[in-house]
């Protein structure tokens, strides 16, 4: 391995997973800019900025955090998305566009990408509740899925019809209109 490749590998220990997630986010219409994120950001190596994500691979600690932050962008109506930045508290209240819906969206994306649940619910996240959330979602108790369904992004099992689209965690749309 040459020096340039060695430094990239050292800076991005989760490189393949990060690449997979970033490619997906860009494919669904979430802007991802790779640039320096100052130390001390809310999540290491990630910022929500002008309705997209800024990612600093050298500081990114948990690639699954990209999915959760993208979830915040995805569940907010398109008209508000471009105004979003790290201070989500400044957004007006959005029905079915909160933390629990962002988490449910991130789980659906994780399933779509075929990644392990620990990528999203890693030991360093969710204020010490990662293990409980991991178990809850793995058991099929999908907190926030009803909000995603109310926003038109997915269907709940009771809404499904024979031959129709599958229910959550399948998504009808990845971004709220």
User: Are the C-beta atoms of residues 120 and 64 closer than 8 Å to each other?
Assistant: yes
- DSSP letters of 58-125? TT---THHHHHHHHHHHTS-HHHHTT--S-GGGSPP-TT-SHHHHHHHHHHHHHHHT--HHHHS-TTS
Mean pLDDT (whole number) for 27-49: 92
Residue 121 has pLDDT above 50, yes or no: yes
User: Are the C-beta atoms of residues 160 and 140 closer than 8 Å to each other?
Assistant: no
Lowest mean pLDDT among 8-22, 49-63, 116-130, 144-158: 8-22
Q: How big is the chain by its Cα radius of gyration, in Å?
A: 16
Mean pLDDT (whole number) for 14-35: 95
Please name the residues in contact with 113: beta carbons below 8 A apart, sequence gap of 6 or more. Answer: 20, 21, 24
Position with higher pLDDT, 64 vs 2: 64
Tokens coding 121:
């619910």
pTM above 0.75, yes or no: yes
Tokens coding 160:
């499904």
- Count of Cβ atoms closer than 10 Å to residue 156 Cβ: 14
Please name the residues in contact with 71: beta carbons below 8 A apart, sequence gap of 6 or more. Answer: 101, 102, 103, 104, 105, 106, 109
């Amino acid at each position: 391995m040459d020096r340039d490749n060695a430094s990239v590998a050292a800076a991005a220990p989760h490189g393949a997973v990060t690449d997979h997630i970033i490619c997906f986010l860009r494919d669904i219409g979430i802007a991802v800019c790779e640039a320096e994120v100052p130390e001390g950001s809310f999540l290491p190596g990630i910022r929500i900025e002008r309705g997209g994500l800024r990612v600093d691979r050298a500081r990114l600690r948990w690639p699954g955090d990209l999915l959760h932050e993208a979830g915040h962008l995805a569940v907010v109506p398109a008209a508000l998305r471009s105004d979003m930045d790290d201070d989500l508290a400044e957004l007006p209240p959005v029905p079915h566009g909160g933390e629990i819906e962002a988490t449910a969206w991130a789980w659906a994306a994780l399933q779509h990408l075929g990644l392990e649940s620990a990528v999203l619910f890693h030991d360093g996240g969710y204020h010490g509740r990662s293990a409980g959330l991991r178990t809850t979602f793995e058991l099929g108790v999908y907190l926030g899925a009803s909000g995603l369904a109310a926003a038109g992004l997915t269907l709940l099992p009771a809404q499904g019809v024979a031959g129709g689209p599958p229910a959550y965690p399948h998504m009808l749309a990845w971004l709220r209109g």
